[in-house]
Amino acid sequence: MFRAFRWSVVVMLLSGVPAGAAEAKYVMKTVKAEPPKELKEPIRKLLAGESVQVLDPKGAVVCQLWFRKEVTANKATADQVKNGLSYRELDETTLLGAIQYASESTDYRKQKIKAGVYTLRLAFQPMDGDHMGVSAHQEFCLLVSAKLDGKPGEMDPKGLQELSTKSIGTSHPGVLMLFPYDKPQANPKLVSKANEHWVVNVKENVKVKDQKTAIGIGLTVVGHAE
């Protein structure tokens, strides 16, 4: 066993990989940054003045994220608030934030996403034969070009799909899968999930009628559907 261990160390040294080194990781940092001017002002003013930057293993910025200061969930019941809100207590198409890609990227379906600024709106996966079993979770953020999204309020889900499809120039909306984040912490965190998924976990404030609470958002920024 010890002989095998010595040989493994030799192989790693010869290949330039330190013994015990983990695979390269993405990292995250928060910075004071005003939302992009590409966003329409009614949307821009709803976003926080702090962003989350995700950097690749080489230190290049993959994307920068801004989240809402507060969202509303007036349909949520007292028990749902007490037990912790899920995405389903929010209205579909709710504006959750915005994302800026520094260079061309890909969405959860490996569709090409051009560099630029997009809003992030909540969407639920259609329960039909075309979508069953294609992802671990059925909640997503749809990407909409900042040029095409001017009003922060909810919209018709079909209209959102059409706007997102138009925004990325394909036959399918641009999508980023949402992981559950049941116990949100005060500070954002980048976590590694199975199958090379990297997820930004953030806490977003929620107003439910006259109550103040929060919801956890787990946005996949790196990773694709199988």
3-state secondary structure 143-154: EEECCCCCCCCC
pLDDT at 176: 98
pLDDT at 2 over 60: no
pTM for this model (two decimals): 0.86
Confidence of residue 105 (pLDDT cuts 50, 70, 90): very high
User: Quick one: average pLDDT of 196-201?
Assistant: 96
pLDDT at 124: 97
Question: Tokens standing for 65?
Answer: 């994220």
pLDDT at 55: 97
The model's pLDDT over 8-49, given as tens digits with 9 standing for 90+, comes to: 433 333 333 333 334 569 999 999 999 999 999 999 999 999
Residues 6 or more apart whose Cβ sits within 8 Å of residue 200: 28, 52, 54, 65, 188, 189, 190, 217, 218, 219, 221
For 171, phi and psi rounded to 5 degrees?
A: -95, 5
The model's pLDDT over 49-103, given as tens digits with 9 standing for 90+, comes to: 999 999 999 999 999 999 999 999 988 999 999 999 999 999 999 999 999 999 9
